[in-house]
Structures are given as C-alpha cells and as structure tokens.
Structure 1
Amino acid sequence: MTLVTLRDVLQPAYTNGYAVAGLVTLGWEDMRAYVAAAEAENAPVILQAGPSCREHTPLPILGKMFRHLAEHASVPVVAHLDHGYTFDECKEALDSGFTSLMFDGSRKPLTQNIDETAAIAEMAHAAGISCEGEIGFVGYSGGEGSNGTDPEEAAIFARESGVDAMAISVGNVHLQQHKEGGLDEARIAAIEAVTDVPLVIHGGSGVPVEQRQKLARNTAICKFNIGTELRLAFGAAMREAVNRDPDRFDRVTILKETIDPVEKAARAVIRAFGNQSSKLT
C-alpha cells in the first residue's frame, strides 16, 4: 500500500468502529518508527507535521520524507498537515505533496471559521485530497485554556464547511504529560447526535487508554492525535543513549537508538484503537 488521503482511512474507521492514530512527527527518526509500528500492527497511520515540526523542517522537505516512507510502506500512510493557520500555509502543504490539510480556525468566530475552512476544503477536494477542521478550541497544558465545542455550532460547522473530519474540544488538552480526567462523554454524544462526519481528538496523550479504546469502538471518534506521549518515549531513549557513553558525539549513532523504543511506544498507541488488521484493503 502507499500514500492515501485522510478520508481513505477515516471512512472505514467510521463505518467499522475503530480509530486511526494521528502521530505527531518532529523528525526522521520518529516518523520512521511510526511507519514501522503501523506495519507491525498492520494498521493505517497518519503522519502529522505540526507547527513546531514545520519551524524545524520546511514543508517541501517534510512532504518528500512522508511520501518516501509511504511509497515503501506495506500499510496506508496519510501525509497530514496539522494546525495549518493560513490559506497560504495549507496551499504550500498541498503543493508539497501532503494528502490531508488540517485548517485550524478554532480561535475565530463561527462564521469566519466556517468560511475559511470551507475555502481550504474546496481547494483540497479539487486536488483530490482531504480536509480536517476544528470547532471549539482545544487548549494547552499550562497555557491557553479550552473553549468547549457547542453541539449546535458543531452541527452547523460540519454541514457548511465541507470537511472530511472535525476536531472537537471535549475536555482534551494539548501537551498534557499525564492521563488525567478523561473526556466529556455526554458532550461527545451530543455532538455525534447532530453530525455525520468522523470526529477527531487533539491532545490524545492526556486521554486514559481505557477511554481511548471505548470511544474508538463505540463513537464517531475515528482519529486520536498523539504527540506528547511519544515525545516522552523519544526523550527517554535519547537521554539513556547519551548518558550511557558520554564520550559519544556522532548524532546518527545516538539517534538510531531512539527508533526501537519509539516504535514500541507507537505500537501500543495504535493497538488501543482497535484491531484494524482485518479492515485494511
């Protein structure tokens, strides 16, 4: 299998009751480990380039890296722009070979968010790729607070924006290092009752694994974004590799030792979202 769109992997998940992992990348070592993990679990995977990743590596380079991995993978791989904030940024990602654009207008008034997201969705669909939008603002651990998704606004957004997937704010928080509290299942049910698009949870690292499993199986949540949990695994592996031999200085030999631990952590993440092996086509 090879490069696919977000819709390609989320529609089967929506129909069959499982979720797909949106794994946040920062460099070659982790994205390589994520694809290896997906292959080991025989599951699709969404490689995500967020703002901090794009600050470090230009979009055209990331697009080539994602596509190279996808073209050699035995499972479906989505090249996904995470939290694109402008039309131009989304257009650059499209031109760089990404197959999915997430436009984040969640800080904006509803009408403006719909209009700007719809323009991105129209551009994406014209090029044969997918679009994810966000309604309700997902905050940051130790930073900006969240603004929960209103089900009535979610219904309007889903209907008028044309998105293939919709990120919602239901107690999830970005950059959360500990699995605390969990998500508001009543609000999720209320949103699900008035929409018919796959739902997305950003800040999935803070969601207890048992709840991830339950929601993936029983709700329209078809994508969980996981970043912090895997960055912690990467950091621990690199720290151990450096400290074991303080005289080493070759970063290639050091970074290679992060791949297996990150793959192991990513496999555990992917496995929790459902047995997808029988659902790949």
Structure 2
Amino acid sequence: MTLVTLKDVLTPAYNQGYAVGGLVTLGWEDMRAYVAAAEAENAPVILQAGPSCREHTPLPVLGKMFRHLADNASVPVVAHLDHGYTFEDCKIALDSGFTSLMFDGSRKPLQQNIDETAAIAEMAHAAGISCEGEVGFVGYSGGEGSNGTDPAEAAQFAKESGVDAMAISVGNVHLQENKEGGLDEDRIRQIDTMTEVPLVIHGGSGVPIEQRTRLARETSICKFNIGTELRMAFGAALRDAVNQDPSRFDRVTILKETHAPVEAAARAVIRAFGAPPQG
C-alpha cells in the first residue's frame, strides 16, 4: 500500500468502529519512526505537518518526505496538513503533494468558517484529495482557552462545509502533558447523533487511553491527533542518548538512538485505536 487520502482511511474506520492516529511530525526521525510503528502494527497512519513543523521545514520539502515514506510503506499513509490557517497554506500543501488539508477557521464566526472551509474543501476535492475542518475552538494547555463545540453548529458546519472529517472541541486541549482530564462524552454523543461525518479529536495526548479506545469503538470519532505524548518520548530518548556520552557530537549517531523508543511509543498509540489488520 502507499499514499492515500484522509477519506480513504477514515471511511472504513467510521464504518467499522475504530480510529486512525494523526501523528504530529517535527522532522525525519519521528515521521520515519511513525511509519515503522504503523507497519509493525499493520495499521494505517496519518503523518501531520503542523505550524511548528512548517516553520522548521518548508511544505514542499515535507511533501517529498511524506511521499517518499508512503511510497515505501506496506500500510496506508496519509500526507496531512494540520492547522492550515489560510487558503494559501492549503494551496501550497496541495501543490506539494499532500493528500489531505486541514483548514482551521475555528477562531472565526461560524458562517465565515463554513464559507472559507467550503472553498478549501472544493479545491481539495477537485484535486482528488481530502479536507478536514474544525468547529469550536480547541485551546492550549497554559494558553488560549477552549470554546466548546455547539452540537447545532456542528450539524450546520458538517452539512454546509463539505468536509470529509470534522474536528470538535469537547474538553480536549492541545499540548496537554498528562491524561488527568477526559472528554465530554455527552456532548460528543449529541454531536454524533446530529452529524454523519467522521469526527476528529485534536489534543489527543491528554485523553486517557481507555477513553480513546472506547470512543473509537462506540462513536464517530475516527481520528485522534497525537503530538505531545510522542514528542515527550522523543525528547527523553534524545536526552538519554546525549547524556550517555557527552563527548559525542555527530547528530546522526545521536539521533539514531531515538528511533526505537519513538517507534515503541507510536506502536502503543496506534494499537489502542483498534484498527483491524490491513489487507
């Protein structure tokens, strides 16, 4: 299997009751480990390039990296733009070979968000790729507070925007390092009953593992974005590698030692989503 769209992996997840990991990448080392983890678990994976990743590496380069990994993978791999804030962001990602565009208009008034997301969805669909939108703002740990998703607004957004997946704000928070919180399941079920589109949880690192597994099985949540949890695994592995021999300076040698720990952490994340073996 090879490069696929977001819709390609979320449609079976929606129909069969499991989720796919949207794993947030920052560089070659973690994205390579994520694909290795997906192959080891025989499950699909979504490689995500968010704003901080794009600050470090230009989108055209990221597109080539994602596509190279996908072309050599034995499982489905999605090349996904995470939190594109402008039409231009999304157009550059499309031109760079991404197969999924996430436009984030969640800070904007509902109708403006719908209209701008619909334009991105139209562009994506014309090119044969997917679009994810967001309704209700997901806040940041230690930063901006969340604005929870109104179920009626979610229903309108899902109907009018044309998205293939819809991110919602239901107690999830970006950059959360612990799992002491949890999601508002009543609100999720209200949204679920009013929509027929795969749902997405951003800030998935703060969601307890048991809840991830159960909601993937029982609701329309088909994608959890996981970043902080995996960055912590990478940081710990890198710190250990540096501290083992302070005289080392070759970064290739040092970075190689992050692969196995990050792959193991990603395997645990992917396994909890319950995807059946890929045919």
TM-score between the two structures when normalised by the length of structure 1: 0.99
Counterpart for residue 152 of structure 2: 152
Q: Secondary structure at the match of 2:125?
A: helix
Q: Secondary structure at the match of 2:102?
A: strand
1:180-259 matched pairs, under 5 angstroms:
180-259=180-259
Q: Secondary structure at the match of 1:102?
A: strand
Q: Secondary structure at the match of 1:276?
A: coil
Structure 1 Cα separation of the partners of residues 119 and 276 of structure 2? 33
Structure 2 Cα separation of the partners of residues 124 and 275 of structure 1? 26
Q: Secondary structure at the match of 1:274?
A: coil
* Runs of at least 5 residues in structure 2 that lack an aligned partner in the other structure: none
Q: CA deviation at 1:12?
A: 0.1
Q: CA deviation at 1:181?
A: 1.8
Structure 2 Cα separation of the partners of residues 174 and 89 of structure 1? 21
8 Å CA contact retained: 2:20, 2:275: no
AA matched with 2:233: A
Q: CA deviation at 1:275?
A: 3.8
AA matched with 1:246: P
Structure 2 Cα separation of the partners of residues 191 and 32 of structure 1? 35
Q: CA deviation at 1:128?
A: 0.0
- Alignment: residue pair count: 279
AA matched with 2:261: P
Residue by residue, what CA displacement relative to the aligned partner does 1:151-181 show, whole Å, maximum 9, x if unpaired? 0000000000000000000000000000022
1:107-118 matched pairs, under 5 angstroms:
107-118=107-118
Residue by residue, what CA displacement relative to the aligned partner does 1:36-94 show, whole Å, maximum 9, x if unpaired? 00000000000000000000000000000000000000000000000000000100000
Counterpart for residue 8 of structure 1: 8
TM-score between the two structures when normalised by the length of structure 2: 1.00
Q: CA deviation at 1:149?
A: 0.1
Counterpart for residue 83 of structure 2: 83
AA matched with 1:136: G
Structure 2 Cα separation of the partners of residues 218 and 41 of structure 1? 21
What is the percent sequence identity of the aligned residues?
85
Structure 1 Cα separation of the partners of residues 276 and 252 of structure 2? 33
Counterpart for residue 270 of structure 1: 270
AA matched with 2:27: G
Counterpart for residue 43 of structure 2: 43
AA matched with 2:270: I
Q: Secondary structure at the match of 2:216?
A: helix
8 Å CA contact retained: 2:70, 2:77: yes
Counterpart for residue 23 of structure 1: 23
Q: Secondary structure at the match of 1:29?
A: helix
Counterpart for residue 65 of structure 1: 65
Task: Give structure 1 regions of 4+ aligned residues with deviation exceeding 3 angstroms.
Answer: none
Cα RMSD over matched residues?
0.5
Structure 2 Cα separation of the partners of residues 129 and 180 of structure 1? 36
8 Å CA contact retained: 2:23, 2:34: yes
1:88-99 matched pairs, under 5 angstroms:
88-99=88-99
AA matched with 2:217: R
8 Å CA contact retained: 2:19, 2:275: no
* Runs of at least 5 residues in structure 1 that lack an aligned partner in the other structure: none
Q: CA deviation at 1:191?
A: 0.2
Q: CA deviation at 1:116?
A: 0.2
Structure 1 Cα separation of the partners of residues 8 and 276 of structure 2? 14
